[in-house]
Every structure is written in C-alpha cells, then in structure tokens.
Chain A
Amino acid sequence: MDRKKAALIAGLTVLLAVLVFLFFHSGGRERLKESEGQGASSSEAKTPPDRATKTVRLYFPREEDGLLVPEERQIVADPSLAREAEEVLAELISGPRGDFLPSLPAETKVGRVFVLKDGTAYVDFTRDIAEKHPSGTEAEMITIFAVVNSLTVNFTSIKKVFILIDGEERETLNGHLSLDRPFLPDYSLIAKR
C-alpha cells in the first residue's frame, strides 16, 4: 500500500514538475516573441545582435538649392513591409546626420503605415507635421516629397503615398499641396550630384 501511495505521489510530482516546466517555458517564449515584436519598431540600440539589418536611403534638403540629397541608414529587417516603412519614416524624422537640413518637423511622430495591394502606402503622422511646419510652398514640397521618395526608392512595391494626419485625411499641410489624393514620387527634386 505504502509503495503504491509513494508511486502515486512520485508520479504526481513528476507530472507537476512537467506542468510547471511547460508553464514557465512556454510563457518565456511568449515574452520573447513579444519583445521581438517591440524590437522591430524601436531604435538600433535595442536590436539583438543576430537581427538582420537593411540599408535604406533617406532624403534631406540641402541649404544651397533645397534639392533632396540621399543619406544611408541601417534599419532592422522585418518580414512586414509596413513595419520597415515605419522605421524608414522614423529615421527620416530623426533628421540628417550629415550637413543637410531636416525634411520635416522633429516633433512629428509616425503612426501606422498600411500598404494596399495596388501599391498605395497610407502613412499616418501626428499633427506636428503641419503645426510645427515652417509653412510655405517650398517647405511643403520638401516635406511631402522627402517622405514619398524615401518610401518609393526603398520599397519597390510602394508606388504612391497617401499622407494622413492624426489618422485622418487632411486637405493640405498648410494651404498648398493637396493631400486628398496619393502622391507619385518626384525624382526631379533629387540633386543630380
């Protein structure tokens, strides 16, 4: 009897141990997955060393003529095109590292990017993109085409870009170019040399 009881207790103990192990093990994996998901949209510093990176080209205006000049950056590779596009825009907002000017107000934050099958990318910015903007046609053209060109150059499946502000359609940034339809890239605004 005692031996049966002992075997039962041992069996239950092993089962419990297995369950406890599974509980913590699987829980741990979920946490790991979650932190990977966050890593994709945060900065390079938090990137685990084994994550693949991708070189992208961002566009900033230069002082002499306002034409856009490319600057290369590393972003974390992500299976999702939209997440990579969000990273590109966050890097664009962070401003130039070289001797160029910003393309959009530094206070701006990028929200979600959605890419439709027809190649239209919907990109959402906080209202700072308009409210902190210097205003004027040249400034609006620089902001809009730095965003559009930086996306179409790095992602061949993005053909045109629709800009949203605080999740909604806006008429213009500050009274000039129409935001109520998508923009095709304008490579004539990129410096030749």
Chain B
Amino acid sequence: MKEVVNLPVKKIEEEEYHINMGPQHPSTHGVLRLVVSLQGEIVKSLKPHCGYIHRGIEKMCEKDTYPQIIHLTDRMDYLSAHINNHAVCLLVEKALDVDVPERVIYIRTIVDELNRIASHQLWWCSFGMDMGGLTCFFYGLRDREKILDIFEESFGSRLLHSYYTPGGLMMDIHPNFQKGVKNFIHYFRKKIKDYDDILTGNIIMQERTKGIGVLSREDAISYGVTGPSGRASGFSCDVRKRHPYALYDKVDFREILGTEGDTFTRYMMRMDEMRESMKIIEQLIDNIPAGDYSAKMKAVIKLPAGEYYQRVEAARGELGVYVVSDGSKTPYRMKFRSPNFSNLSVLDHISRGVKIADLVAIGGSLDYVIPDIDR
C-alpha cells in the first residue's frame, strides 16, 4: 500500500504577498502607487511609488522669472493655490524690501483663510467618501461651491487663481466680496453643525478611526509631519504662530493641538481649524483699509545674489521656499519643501499592522495632494 506523504501545506494567511494600490485607486485622490505587503488583510509594510505627475517644477523655475513662477506654484498643491502664491510673493517682497500696502495684507490673509476652509471642505467630503459615506461628498462640495463662487467673482477663476503677484494683487477685489464672505460665514456656521451630525458623531466612523494609525509626537517631528496631521500628535508646528507672516500676529486665533495622534484626532483638527479660520476672517472682513491693491514694482524683478527662505502654513502643513539667487531675473535654484512629501514618508510607519481597509482611512486623514508630492 502506498504511503501517504504529508506535504507541508501553507495557509494563505501565513504567506506574505504584495498588491498594488494605485496608480489609479480612488482612495489616493490622484496618481500614487502604494505597493502594500500583506499577510491576510494585515498590512506588513508598504512602499509608496511617486513621480507619476512629476513635471520638474523646480527645473522649470530656473528658466522663469519670479512673476512667472507664481503660476507654477498654483499647480503644486492646487487646493491651497493662494497660500502657495503667498510664499513666493513674501519671499520676493522680503528680499527687495518692498512696502506692501496694508489693504493687500488684509485681503491676502482673508483669502488665505477662505482657501484653507475650501481645502478642508474638500478633504472632509473625500474623507467621508473613503469611509463609505457618499452623502458627505455632496454636502462638502455644495458648501465649497459658495467659496468658489466668491473666488470666481473676484479673481476670475475657481481653482488656479494666480491672484497674488510680487508686491500686491493682480486686481482689486469685487465690490460684492465683503458681503459675499459675510454671507458665507453666516451660512457655513450653521452648516458645519451638519458635518458633525452626519460624520463626526457617527459611531461607525469613530470605531473605524479611533486608535488607528497612531503617530507619536517624537515621530511626527522626526518625519517632519506638519499641518493638521502633525498637530494631531501634539507637535506645535503652525507657522502662523511660530513665524508669523501677514496679519497672523495681530488676529486672535487658537492653534488647534491634539494629543492622541490617531486618525480621529487628525480628523478633528481640520474640523476645528475651519472654525478658527472663520474666526480670523470675521475679525478682518469689516476692517479692510482703503488704498492701492499693489505696490509699485519694477518691470523686471531681480533678486540680489544670496539665499532666501520663506515658510507659510498651507492647508496641509508647512510650505517652504528656498531660493539661491545669482542676481539675475531667474532663480539659480528653487526648492519647494512641500508638506505632502514629508507627510507621505510617515505612511509606512503608521500603517504597519493595520487592516487594509484602515489604510484607506489613514491615507484619507493625512490628506494627500499628489501634484504637491511629485512637483
């Protein structure tokens, strides 16, 4: 009689295997590929592969003049386009010691905060959608539309505005701007309660986010995770407080800080930030001084030879612009320290050991904008 040979049979749960999430995956909100190493449905490790929309913006900047570069910065983090413009404008103005009119500084601060709210609204609707709640998507987009209407009326475009120029603004605000913004704040103060009712208080959402993807304060600093994601871990990294620019040292607002560092805290940071942004706008909107909308600038802007650095708080974290100038009208080297690039580097660290469905929630709470990673 033939002897039965017991071959070692491997269970599929024990075997580690790799799957590709992306480049076309709805949860990455762009073209990002995550090579995820799985055992069963537990994430063992992952490797992000970026570069699908690498356009070489830093190389392009070396051929462009400073007013031209403004238009490229819109296309990095397109959801905080105004704030990206602001970084380059401040850098040029500081380097040339330009006296920017008070009116410009007021308008810029208000528009930056409107931009931050619009960005967080889009994050909220896509985060809700990632978690399986499609209603959020409609609510968020409906309210974001109100801000885009204000933008369209004043600046002529909805997404990529290029509204700031070195020395001032492209044009003055529309006469309806102040009324429109005040109407929006009045409207959104009521509507943000719906956000809490529909998603924040939802027990399924809380179960899926609390204690998932915990990032400690030390790791947040070491990985350079800034913005709401860093502040959720207790890393006080708000550039508006640490190195104030525009009017942020004159207005009263709170830096939102968390302690837990999990997905739910990252979620709450952005919800509270929207309220703080509305507070900032309310303090400024009635006090915009009269005056010019731009300082007199030379036709050709040349930065004196040397190094310059400017940091601003974009919607997703700290944006740094580092310029080495050789005295000509184009920068010798321009480096953008983009918040999303550093925030992405922590994804592998915090998603080890979670289920693959939670990886989607973690990715949503870090709020990537892929063109900002790839540049």
The answer to whether A and B assemble together is: no
